[in-house]
A = this chain, B = another copy of it.
Amino acid sequence: MSIKSAVVLFSGGLDSTTVLAWALREGYACYALSFDYGQRHRQELDCAREIAAAFGVVRHAVVEFDLKQFGGSALTDEIEVPKSKSAEGIGTDIPVTYVPARNTIFLSFALAWAETLQITEIFIGVNAMDYSGYPDCRPAFIHAFEQMANLATKAGVQEFKPFRIQAPLMHLGKAEIIRLGTSLGVDYGQTMSCYDPIADGRPCGQCDACWLRAKGFSEAGVVDPLASSESVITRR
């Protein structure tokens, strides 16, 4: 593939939408990749489809598999998503919303698609600042995955350019991510962060993801378009 292209892991959330906007601004033709894996907050896929279409990606693929059959996470199992009264303490321990090996699985599919398309660049929206403390969001993991990827594939034995796992948000706080996305024209009203949305799709306002999002918008001095609507966040 001669034009500059990238596979972008894309959940429809705040972080991955910012990464997608960033990659497009950098001139990449983007192949967005989402997963329908039995997540509680499956509505994020509707957001992903709308944003992918609005952004004009080359292709948006949704891979389906069922992580519910393994369980072990509040996002895929009959375990309650923890709610709290503030952002205090988030990221200090690995919470029950951690999905075992999720980013490893997501990156593995991205690698498969990238190798098929002969694309070397893979983008992921992880960050290790304002995050939930998941082990597969840390720089050491991303680096180890990249090394493994280059041994797993034809790149490892033939003369291809190596794969690169790009995580441009890794060292940004949530407020910086929001400022970056805003400067790129992202409409955060289209994104979804909540782990446990209420029946009509509005965010719960009390899970880790909602708190990190609210804290980020507050620190960025930007109004969250979701909060300015009829969402629960406005009433917390």
Contacts and interface: CB of A to CB of B under 8 A. Distances in A.
Q: Is the interface of A mostly helix, strand, loop or mixed?
A: helix
Interface stretch (A16-24, A99-107, A174-182, A212-220): A99-107
Nearest to A140: B151
A63 B109 CA distance: 14
A77 to B, nearest CB: 9
Contacts of A140: 151, 156
Contact of A108 (B61, B64, B105): B105
Nearest to A118: B72
Contacts of A158: 94
A101 B72 contact: no
Interface string A28-65: 00000000000000000000000000000000010111
A95 to B, nearest CB: 11
Contacts of A102: 112
Tallying the copies of this chain within the complex gives 2
Contact of A64 (B66, B98, B99): B66
Interface stretch (A80-88, A141-149, A187-195): A141-149
20 contacts: A61-B69, A67-B112, A70-B113, A70-B116, A100-B111, A101-B109, A101-B152, A104-B108, A104-B112, A104-B148, A105-B109, A108-B108, A135-B153, A135-B154, A136-B151, A136-B152, A136-B153, A144-B147, A144-B151, A147-B147
Interface of A: 61, 63-67, 69-72, 94, 98-105, 108-109, 111-113, 115-116, 135-136, 138, 140-141, 144-145, 147-149, 151-154, 156-158
